[in-house]
Amino acid sequence: MEVKIGVQHAPREIVLESGQSAEDVERTVSEALAGKEQLLSLTDDKGRKVLVPAERVAYVEIGAPAQRRVGFGTV
């Protein structure tokens, strides 16, 4: 599942691939934005943790699972 997080006053968004379902990601984001948590904490497919202060989250885009490409592309 591709997740994009926009952070206030940051020029680029954070993009990660998460093994969580869309519902789990949405629940985690909702809890952080509701003030239950100080940090939005998500873990990517490689086990790395992404922490963003909840008050700095501008938006979160939850996308479809990324399609892995196999082979060589021609240009």
Structural domains present in the chain: 2-62 (2.30.30)
Per-residue pLDDT, 54: 94
Residue 66 in this model has a pLDDT that exceeds 90: no
Q: Do 7 and 51 contact (CB within 8 A), yes or no?
A: no
Number of H helices, E strands in the chain: 1, 5
Average pLDDT of the residues in 5-23: 94
Nearest to 5 by CA among 49, 47, 46, 37: 49
pTM for the complete prediction? 0.79
Residues 9, 15, 18, 20, CA torsion sign? positive
Average pLDDT of the residues in 28-43: 92
**Helix residue spans in the chain (DSSP H):** 22-33
Across all residues in the chain, what is the average pLDDT? 88
